[in-house]
Structure formats: structure tokens, C-alpha cells
Amino acid sequence: MGNVLLYLFYWAVAGVIATAVTGVKTGFFWFIMLGLPVTLIAGGLALALVVSVVGAFIGFVTPRR
């Protein structure tokens, strides 16, 4: 259980960074849509961070509304 909480903590940190970089709407979207499912399914910190970074990049290059 401790590992799950640790993964969720890192996921939250990565999501906050992604949101800060890309803006609230796009950052939060990628934060929820990509970060959480991958983290819960794989349980892998590295994979979750990679997905969050990719999501942040996609959100960054996507025009803001």
C-alpha cells in the first residue's frame, strides 16, 4: 500500500508540473487522462513520469484556448 501512495504522490507532483507548464486546461487534461491510468495499471514511477512529460509536451504544443 505504501508503494501505491508513493506512486500517487509522484503522479500528483508530475501533474502539477505539467499543469504549470502547459496551462490549467491542457495540463489538467493530460494529467488525468494519461498520468493516473498508467500509474495505476503499471505501478511504474518512471513510466508515469515519461507519460506526464509527453502529456506536458503535447499540451505545450497544442494551441491554448
C-alpha cell at 63: 494551441
Confirm if 34 and 52 have CB atoms less than 8 A apart.
yes
Give the whole-angstrom CA distance, residue 65 versus residue 45: 31
C-alpha cell at 33: 487522462
- If one counts the domains in the chain, the total is 1
The confidence score (pLDDT) of residue 10 equals: 73
Tens of pLDDT, residue by residue, the chain (65 residues): 567 677 767 777 777 776 666 666 666 666 666 666 666 665 566 666 677 777 777 777 766 55
The confidence score (pLDDT) of residue 37 equals: 66
The confidence score (pLDDT) of residue 12 equals: 73
* pTM score over 0.85: no
Residue 6 structural domain: 2-61
